[in-house]
Structure 1
């Protein structure tokens, strides 16, 4: 089933949680890692709506929650970027590491921890890319 972003964002988040947990490489990469991530899709020239925020909680190699979040949701790490960049990332046209390094996405949190857990982040992104997603804008 194709999910639309941003209209189906809540269902998309739920699907993402399942896809993350289906990835054996994620379980290995995220073992003994507890963290909460905030992923934010921001308005840009292509999409002028409200920001869409996903909160993703990890504990001991599993995604325990993936849901829509408020702007003030507590998190350890955040990745924020314009809608157009998210479309490219989720479509596989952007590499997550390169897009963070070149400033396409703003990242907040302990950089050393993120570097050590880069494989877990890459697996989360790969899980997101595996969702059949249609972009409304």
Structure 2
């Protein structure tokens, strides 16, 4: 089933949680890792709506929650980028590490921890890329 962002954002978050938990490589990479991530899609020329925010909670090799959130949310790490950049990342056109390094995405949180858990983050992105996603605009 194809999900459209941002129209189907809540269902997309549920699917993302399930896809993360289906990945054995994620479970291994995220073992003994507890963190909450905020992923934020910002408006740009392609999408002029309100920011779309996903909060993803990890604990001991599992994604315990992935949800759409409004306003302020507690998190340990954040990744923010414009709608067009998210569309390119989720379609596989952009590499997550390169996109963070070149400033396409803004990342907030303890850099050393993110580098140590780079495989877990890459698995989360791969899980997101596995969702049949259509983008507005």
- Same fold by TM-score, threshold 0.5 exceeded? yes
- The equivalent of 1:127 in structure 2 is 127
Partner of 2:16: 16
Moved over 6 A (4+): none
Alignment match, 2:38: 38
Unpaired runs of at least 5, structure 1: none
- Count of aligned pairs: 137
Instruction: Please report how far the alpha carbon of residue 69 of structure 1 lies from its aligned counterpart in structure 2 after TM superposition.
Output: 1.2
Match of 1:57 in 2: 57
Equivalence for 1:66 = 66
The structural deviation recorded for 1:136 is 1.2
Report Cα offsets for 1:38-87 as digits up to 9, x if no partner: 00000001110000000000000000000001231000000000000000
Q: CA RMSD in A?
A: 0.4
TM-score, normalized by length of structure 1?
A: 0.99
CA distance in 2, matches of 1:93, 1:6: 19
Instruction: Map 1:83-102 to 2 at 5 A.
Output: 83-102=83-102
| 2:113 alignment counterpart | 113
Give the distance between the partners of 2:93 and 2:48, measured in 1 at CA. 22
